[in-house]
Amino acid sequence: MKKRFLSGMALAGAAAFALTACSSDGGDTGSSDAASGDGGGGGGDTIVVGFAQTGSESGWRSANTESMKTAFSEDNGFELVFNAADNDTAAQIAAVRGFINQGVDAIVIAPIVEDGWDDVLTEAADAGIPVILEDRTVSASEDLYAAWIGLDFEEEGVKAGEWAAEMYGDEETKMVVLEGTTGSAPANDRATGFDAAIEGTMIEKIDSQTGDFTRDGGKSVMEGFIQNYGVDNIDLVYAHNDDMALGAIEAIEAAGAVPGEDIKIISIDAVHDGMQALVDGKINYIVECNPLLGDLVAAAVTGVINGDDVEAVQYVEDLAFDQAAAEAALPDRKY
Ligand code: AHR
């Protein structure tokens, strides 16, 4: 797939486009006939959008939900039918089926896992309802959805791994990994990118288990690692998100060790709590994963419904932070 990277400037531009596109119908918030599927955003009516969110597993997810709800507001010409599936794939697919039966104008999905989407995406296509993916990818054919907007998870893993290789790669380093949700695109791709970047270094992965992207999951998996290997035999934690890193910090402190010193920590997301832990020296490096995708997704939905030429693959660029960079960035962080 062709990659289109969007910088902060482009994001601002897209936001302006989204607002213009949606206010051209006067921001009509009158009710549309969802049951008949006659929302017809292209004709100037309210656009009825079903959004199937993963759940509320992390700080990143809360920021993403907030961004989507703000972008798909009534003032912007949308009626949002929101569903959060609590990280349950069957429930998320059932929610999408519900949107199809309801006859919404468009469906947006943040897919929990990559596999298993072919049938329901085909049903949406047969019903003539365009699907736009946000955040995570699927393994189903690209013909089954109109656009995908999100982050380059593999590149995030590469950035994290390159920093680890530079800082710790020349000395014997025993690493444990806190994986995201099994089968999800970020868990798969962040592992692939990181592993490639540390190849040939002295960093040894001694264990890797899922903490499901949650703080509690990260804490209990880290407690298990400490119990199995001993706190003195773990040098580095690579956490697939900040929430799991924050849970690991609690487990490390409870075991009487100092996170960021005795055990180094690298994570991904750069949400406020994670950045504060980096500033406090408890996390050593964070690669960003930008959750503020709402305006871009809303612009894509409007474009698809209006029959415009919408870029099929839209990557949003991520930054990375060491302690000094986090200190400088934290006061202005939006999430
Ligand atoms: O898909 C993005 C990932 O999902 C974020 O990194 C994680 O925090 C969230 O749960």
Question: pLDDT tens digits for 88-111?
Answer: 999 999 999 999 999 999 999 999
Residue-range domain boundaries for the chain = 3-151+290-317, 153-288
pLDDT for 44: 56
Atom of ligand 1 at shortest range from CA of 291: 2
Atom of ligand 1 at shortest range from CA of 184: 1
The percentage of the chain sitting over the pLDDT mark of 90, rounded to a whole number, equals 87
pLDDT for 177: 99
Q: Do domains 3-151+290-317 and 153-288 have the same CATH topology?
A: yes
Our mutation pick for probing the ligand 1 site, out of 53, 54, 60, counting the most ligand atoms within 8 A of Cβ, is 60
Answer whether 24's CB lies under 8 Å from 303's CB. Answer: no
Chain mean pLDDT for the chain: 89
Q: How far is the CA of 187 from the centre of ligand 1 (A)?
A: 9
Atom of ligand 1 at shortest range from CA of 213: 10
The percentage of the chain sitting over the pLDDT mark of 70, rounded to a whole number, equals 87
Our mutation pick for probing the ligand 1 site, out of 213, 286, 318, counting the most ligand atoms within 8 A of Cβ, is 213
Question: Is residue 136's pLDDT more than 60?
Answer: yes
Q: How far is the CA of 77 from the centre of ligand 1 (A)?
A: 28
Q: Pick from 192, 246, 251: which is nearest to 59 by CA?
A: 246
Question: Is residue 76's pLDDT more than 70?
Answer: yes
Question: Given 3.40.50.2300, 3.40.50.300, 3.30.70.1450, 3.30.70.980, which CATH number is that of 3-151+290-317?
Answer: 3.40.50.2300
C-alpha dist (Å) from residue 205 to 34, 195, 202, 295, 306: 51, 9, 10, 39, 49
Give dist(CA 300, CA 312) in Å, integer. 9
Q: How far is the CA of 58 from the centre of ligand 1 (A)?
A: 7
Question: pLDDT tens digits for 7-61?
Answer: 333 333 333 333 323 322 222 222 232 223 333 334 458 999 999 999 999 999 9
Q: Pocket residues for ligand 1 (CB within 6 Å)?
A: 57-58, 60-61, 135-136, 186, 213, 241, 243, 268-269, 289
Atom of ligand 1 at shortest range from CA of 59: 8
Six-digit token string for 220: 């209990």
pTM above 0.75, yes or no: yes
Answer whether 269's CB lies under 8 Å from 58's CB. Answer: yes
Answer whether 268's CB lies under 8 Å from 238's CB. Answer: no
Our mutation pick for probing the ligand 1 site, out of 266, 267, 289, counting the most ligand atoms within 8 A of Cβ, is 289
Q: How far is the CA of 43 from the centre of ligand 1 (A)?
A: 35
Question: pLDDT tens digits for 183-209?
Answer: 999 999 999 999 999 999 999 999 999
CATH code of 153-288, in short, is: 3.40.50.2300
Atom of ligand 1 at shortest range from CA of 185: 1
Question: pLDDT tens digits for 256-293?
Answer: 999 999 999 999 999 999 999 999 999 999 999 999 99
Question: Is residue 237's pLDDT more than 80?
Answer: yes
Q: How far is the CA of 153 from the centre of ligand 1 (A)?
A: 10
